Structure 1
Amino acid sequence: MDALEVLKHDHRMVEQLFRDYHSAASDSQRRGVVELLVRELSKHAALEELMVYPLAKKVLPEGEQLVDGHLGEHMAVKKALADLDRLGEGDERTDELMAQLRRDVDEHVREEETEFMPRLREAVDPAQLDKLGLDLERAKQAAPTRPHPGAPDRPPALALAGPVAAAYDRIRDRLERRPKT
């Protein structure tokens, strides 16, 4: 898959996790879905910020402004994910936070898939998108698995902070016996 197909695949997976949350039969199942959602959205956002957005800034005429808008949307998602991550199983605030997160993610996905991605596909050579797709798939194995709203969201600081955050996240995931994806 090329980079844009990888990102769309991530979007479909997240949409399925939202559906799974609503069809879960117990607080325990819902909490498991929340943990998977936190993990997948955190990895996705970190990799977009590190690998996709810098490319968009270079190749799109209004790339800087476009990326700034997406980074603002990411910040709202990261804050919601951090709030969800702190909640315990069965917390009454979970449904409200999940509803807000879904609205934010749906809007972000719609903008990315109807505006951002088509423009990026026109501006970038298919071979470069293919290589970036492979790089994204490999990088998922080492990406942060938790939200870090206070961390840098732009290279080069992101490139330095990301691996440290990812190592910390994976230790926490193991200690808390979080699911792996």
Structure 2
Amino acid sequence: MDALELLAHDHRRVEQLFRDYRSAASDRQRRGVVELLVRELSRHAALEEMYVYPLAKQVFVDGGREIGEHLGEHLAVKETLLALDRLDEGDERTDELVARLRREVEEHVREEEEVFMPRLRASVSRRELDDLGRLLAQARQGVPTRPHPHAPDHPPALTLAGPVAAAYDRLRDRLQRRPRT
């Protein structure tokens, strides 16, 4: 898959997780889905921030402004993810936060898929997107699995902080027996 196909695939996976949350039969199942949402969206955001957005910033005439808007959307999602991540199984606030997260993600995905992705596809070669897709697939295993709304969100600081956060997240995931994807 090229980079944009890989990101769209991530979007479909998250949409399925929202459906899974709605159909979950117990608090335990809902909490499991929340943990997967936290993991998948944290990884997706990190990949975009580390690899996709810097490329777009280079090739778009107004890249800095547009990427700033996307990073603002990411910040809102990360803050909601952090709030969800801190809740216990069965917490009454979970449904409200998942609904907020869904709204934030749906708006971000719509904008990315209707505007950002077609624009990036038109701005770079097929080979560059293929190469970036391979890089994203490899990098997925080494990016943070938890939200870090106060961490740097663009290179070079992100390039330094990302691996440290990822190692810390993976340790926490193992200790807390979080689901792996």
By the TM > 0.5 criterion, same fold?
Answer: yes
Question: Is 1:105 equivalent to 2:105 in the alignment?
Answer: yes
Q: Hey, what's the Cα distance between the residues in 2 that align with 1:136 and 1:9?
A: 12
The amino acid across from 2:50 in the alignment is L
The equivalent of 2:47 in structure 1 is: 47
Distance in 2 separating the partners of 1:137 and 1:24: 29
1:104-123 alignment to 2 at 5 Å? 104-123=104-123
Matched, 1:37 2:37: yes
| TM-score, with structure 1 as normaliser | 1.00
Q: Secondary structure at the match of 1:179?
A: coil
Residue correspondence of structure 1 range 101-180 to structure 2 within 5 A? 101-180=101-180
Q: Deviation at 1:61?
A: 1.2
1:119 deviates by: 0.3
Q: Deviations over 1:78-113 (max 9, x none)?
A: 000000000000000000000000000000000000
Query: What is the Cα deviation at residue 46 of structure 1?
Result: 0.5
1:6 alignment partner in structure 2: 6
Percent identity, aligned pairs only, is 72
Q: Provide Cα deviations, 1:43-97, integer angstroms capped at 9, x if missing partner.
A: 0000100000000000011111110000000000000000000000000000000
1:101-139 deviation line (CA, Å, top 9, x unaligned): 000000000000000000000000100000000100110
Amino acid at match of 1:127: R
What is the aligned residue count?
181
Unaligned runs of 5+ in 2: none
- Shift in Å, 1:21: 0.2
Which consecutive aligned stretches of 4+ in structure 1 deviate over 6 angstroms post-superposition? none
RMSD: 0.3
3-state secondary structure, aligned to 2:12: helix
In structure 1, the residue matched to 2:96 is 96
Long gaps (5+) in structure 1: none
**Partners of 1:70 and 1:117 in 2: how far apart?**
12
